[in-house]
Chains A and B, each alone.
Chain A
Amino acid sequence: GAGVSQSPSNKVTEKGKDVELRCDPISGHTALYWYRQRLGQGLEFLIYFQGNSAPDKSGLPSDRFSAERTGESVSTLTIQRTQQEDSAVYLCASSPTGMTEAFFGQGTRLTVV
Chain B
Amino acid sequence: AQSVTQLDSQVPVFEEAPVELRCNYSSSVSVYLFWYVQYPNQGLQLLLKYLSGSTLVESINGFEAEFNKSQTSFHLRKPSVHISDTAEYFCAVSPFSGGYNKLIFGAGTRLAVHP
Does chain A bind chain B? Answer: yes
Interface residues of A in 22-62 (CB under 8 A from B): 31, 33, 35, 41-43, 45, 48, 50-51, 53, 56
> Are B43 and A56 in touch, CB under 8 angstroms?
no
| A95 contacts partner chain B, Cβ-Cβ < 8 Å | yes
| A67 contacts partner chain B, Cβ-Cβ < 8 Å | no
> Are B103 and A42 in touch, CB under 8 angstroms?
no
| Count of A-B contacts judged by CB separation below 8 Å | 59
| A10 contacts partner chain B, Cβ-Cβ < 8 Å | no
- Given A31-B101, A56-B102, A95-B101 in contact, is the A100-B49 Cβ separation under 8 Å? yes
| B74 contacts partner chain A, Cβ-Cβ < 8 Å | no
Q: CA of A50 to CA of B98 in the docked complex: distance in angstroms?
A: 11
Among A35, A99, A102, point to the contact of B96 (Cβ < 8 A): A99
- B45: A residues at CB distance < 8 A: 104
| A98 contacts partner chain B, Cβ-Cβ < 8 Å | yes
| B107 contacts partner chain A, Cβ-Cβ < 8 Å | yes
- Given A42-B90, A53-B99, A106-B43 in contact, is the A101-B49 Cβ separation under 8 Å? yes
Q: CA of A53 to CA of B97 in the docked complex: distance in angstroms?
A: 14
Q: CA of A44 to CA of B100 in the docked complex: distance in angstroms?
A: 18
- Given A31-B101, A50-B100 in contact, is the A99-B106 Cβ separation under 8 Å? no
- Mask, B84-114, CB within 8 Å of A = 1, is 0000001000101001111111111000000
- B34: A residues at CB distance < 8 A: 101-102
Chain B residues in the interface with A (C-beta under 8 A): 32, 34, 36, 43-46, 49, 51, 90, 94, 96, 99-108
- 11 further A-B pairs in the complex, CB-CB below 8 A; given A50-B101, A102-B103: A33-B102, A41-B107, A43-B105, A43-B108, A48-B103, A56-B102, A98-B96, A99-B96, A100-B32, A101-B34, A107-B43
Q: List 23 A-B contacts (CB under 8 A).
A: A33-B103, A41-B107, A42-B90, A42-B105, A42-B108, A43-B90, A45-B104, A45-B105, A48-B102, A50-B101, A53-B100, A93-B103, A99-B96, A99-B101, A100-B49, A100-B51, A101-B49, A102-B34, A102-B46, A102-B103, A103-B46, A104-B43, A104-B45
